[in-house]
Each structure stands twice: as C-alpha cells, then as structure tokens.
C-alpha cells in the first residue's frame, strides 16, 4: 500500500481544492481491499455524482442482457415507440452515445430555464420537445454524440425490464450486492439535505451564488443521478472492473473503447464504451470510468488496470463547480502513485 498514506491523500486533495469547497478522495491499489479516503468536511462526505451514474445505469442493462431479459442489439423502439427514429437505433448504441440523439447541455433554453426556476425542472415532455422530438442529429452508429436524454431512455428501459423504478433497479443490482450504505437516489429536493454544501452561479438570473441543496430540483439532471461517497464510488468501479457485476462478455462490451472523434484534453485518445469513458493511451495505461459535473459539484472516477504501481481505482468528488476540478485531482493522484 505504499503511496496511499492518508496524510499524502489529504495533501493532494487539499492542494487540488485550493480552498474552493469540500471534497473527498478514495483510492484502491492492487488486490488490497483497503481504501484510503480523506474529506475536507464531515464523514462520510456525500456528493451528487452527476454523470458518474451513467456506468451504473449501463451496468444494470448489461446485467439484464446477461440474464437474457433483453439484447443490447434490440431496437429502442421496443420500449420507446413514442421516440422518433427509435426503431433505427439499439440499446448498445444508446449506451455508447451513438444513437444520434440530441442533448440539452448546449441549449440556451435549458440554462435559461434552470436560472429562471431552479426549483421546478422541465417535465419529461418538455425535455422531449427540446431533444428527441426534433429528430436525430446524425444517423445511428455513425458518430459519437453525448446525450443525457439518451440515458434517460436507458434508465427507463432498465426500469421497465425489472418492473420497478430506476432507484430500485440500482438498489437491487448494485447498492445491495456491494453493501453500499451511503449511496442513494436524488429524487426530491429533500434528498439534497444529505449532501455536502455546494454553491452555484447557474441557479439565478443575477449570477449570484446559490446553495444547490436549497435551490435545485433534481429533475434538472434528466438521466437521474445519485448521492454517494468517494469510497463507495471506488467500490462500484473496482467491482465492475474485477468482473463482479457483469459477465466477462458484458465487461468486454462495456470496455470496448471507441475513439470519440474529437480532442478532449487531457486524454490522449478520448474514447467511449458502454457507459464508460476512457483513454487507451493514457500515461498510466488504458483507463476507464466517468466524469460528472453540474451545478455546484464535479466528480471523477477511473480505473487503471495497468497502472505502473498495480491495478488502481481512484475517485474524487468535489463541491467545486469548475468543470475539471475533480478530474485534475484524480490525474494528479494517478501520477503521484506512479513509481519514479
């Protein structure tokens, strides 16, 4: 466990946060199950993980495919006949952001509505009007196009297949088997009370700082998100990488990283599998995991199977709105743990 001492973890985390807000770091090196965590706040420190939930949603669907309840090559129209073009793209393409679906992240209307009424999210119908009802932006399978609405459709498929809501799907399939005690679905404003304080300039038209916990309807994260700790995020990704959550075939499908076709520093070869972003040419060998970010918070969780120090999984969760805050700390940790 050399290099994972709590004092060093605290130093790396505090330096990366630079006084901007609370944060937590966890890492697992090699086969040793010990996790080293540090948080500049209460214990355990919970944060919204935003798009770090995407690998969890993808894992649930791959498990369902392993069980024969669906095929990753089924057309999405099997569950979503109301979505224009859904007969032309598959579950696999949905999970890999290659269905050709639109996103709302770059829409001025989304950000204006978020600032105008942060406590009242768009309805499913409103999201649809701004995204999938506009038609596909590219033919399925041709190009990578990140789509949060695509992951809303994915989690609804998982819920239909298991006959319960997505929170229960994830509880049965991931939280309960891994004995996660501090991970929970963010389904109502009351759930934000369990999180570390995070502030945002995006929740008011005047640009003033607002406490996300007191202002934001979780429905503004359309694909659904979770609150969790850095340690539990490490446990999920390490379990997935170790083959404890899906079959070998399922894991191979999830980790078949395809270049996204455009630069995304600091990745050398930014790529995406099924619910997993990655870099096959990172300085630490192939890595996969996911970043997350939104009002008030950022998150980054990655696994490096061929790290020079041994198989390494790191998670950083921050109550810092800067988009690269968590990933920058995570990359620093991976570099510091590399033998000199």
Asked if residue 244 is part of any domain, the answer here is yes
Give the pLDDT of residue 138: 94
Alpha helices in 120-195 (DSSP H): 124-130, 148-162, 166-170
Q: Please check the confidence at residue 2 and state whether its pLDDT lies above 60.
A: no
Closest by CA position to 145, among listed 79, 88, 93 = 93
Cβ neighbourhood burial of 84 (10 Å; 0-12, 13-18, 19+): middle
Q: Domain range spanning residue 182?
A: 6-336
CA–CA separation, 27 and 103 (whole Å): 32
DSSP structure class, residue 173? I
Q: How many domains does the chain have?
A: 1
Which tens digit of pLDDT belongs to each residue from 14-33? 999 999 999 999 999 987 76
Looking at residue 1, its pLDDT comes to 39
Is residue 1 assigned to a domain? Answer: no
Which of 215, 191, 194 has its CA nearest to residue 295?
215
Token pair in block for residue 30: 């090699």
CATH code for the domain of 307: 3.40.710.10
pLDDT tens for each residue of 36-76 = 677 777 778 999 999 999 999 999 999 999 999 999 999 99
Could you tell me the two tokens for 133?
Answer: 């009802």
Alpha-carbon distance of 121 to 217, in angstroms, equals 6
Q: Which of 209, 220, 214 is nearest to 193 (CA)?
A: 214
| Domain-embedded: residue 241 | yes
Instruction: Give residue-wise pLDDT tens across range 299-313.
Output: 999 999 999 999 999
* pLDDT tier for residue 7 given thresholds of 50, 70 and 90: confident
Is 233 contained in some domain? yes
**Could you tell me the two tokens for 91?**
């579950």
For residues 1 and 204, the model is more confident at: 204
Contacts for 126 with CB less than 8 Å, ≥ 6 apart: none
CB atoms within 10 A of CB 90: 22
- Whole-angstrom distance, CA of residue 155 vs CA of residue 193: 24
The residue among 78, 62, 74 whose CA lies nearest residue 273 is 62
């Amino acid at each position: 466990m050399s290099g994972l001492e709590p004092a060093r973890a605290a130093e790396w985390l505090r330096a990366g946060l630079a006084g901007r807000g609370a944060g937590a770091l966890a890492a697992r090196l090699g086969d040793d199950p010990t996790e080293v965590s540090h948080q500049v706040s209460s214990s355990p420190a919970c944060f919204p993980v935003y798009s770090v939930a995407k690998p969890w949603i993808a894992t649930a669907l791959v498990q369902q495919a392993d069980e024969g309840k669906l095929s990753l090559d089924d057309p999405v129209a099997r569950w979503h006949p109301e979505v224009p073009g859904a007969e032309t793209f598959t579950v696999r393409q949905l999970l890999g952001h290659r269905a050709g679906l639109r996103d709302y992240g770059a829409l001025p209307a989304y950000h204006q509505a978020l600032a105008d009424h942060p406590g009242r999210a768009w309805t499913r119908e409103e999201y649809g009007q701004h995204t999938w009802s506009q038609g596909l932006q590219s033919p399925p399978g041709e190009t990578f196009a990140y789509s949060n609405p695509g992951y809303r459709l994915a989690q609804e498929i998982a819920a239909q297949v298991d006959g319960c809501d997505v929170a229960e799907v994830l509880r049965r399939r991931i939280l309960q088997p891994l004995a996660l005690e501090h991970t929970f679905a963010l389904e109502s404003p009351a759930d934000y009370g369990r999180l570390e304080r995070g502030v945002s300039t995006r929740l008011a038209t005047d640009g003033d700082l607002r406490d996300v916990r007191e202002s934001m309807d979780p429905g503004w994260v359309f694909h659904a998100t979770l609150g969790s700790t850095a340690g539990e995020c490490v446990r999920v990704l390490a379990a997935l990488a170790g083959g404890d959550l899906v079959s070998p075939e399922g894991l191979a499908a999830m980790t078949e990283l395809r270049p996204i076709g455009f630069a995304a520093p600091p990745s050398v070869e930014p790529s995406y599998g099924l619910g997993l972003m990655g870099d096959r040419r990172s300085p630490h060998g192939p890595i996969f995991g996911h970043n997350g970010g939104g009002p008030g918070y950022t998150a980054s969780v990655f696994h490096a199977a061929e790290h020079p120090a041994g198989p390494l999984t790191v998670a950083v969760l921050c109550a810092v709105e800067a988009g690269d805050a968590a990933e920058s700390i995570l990359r620093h940790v991976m570099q510091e743990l590399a033998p000199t």
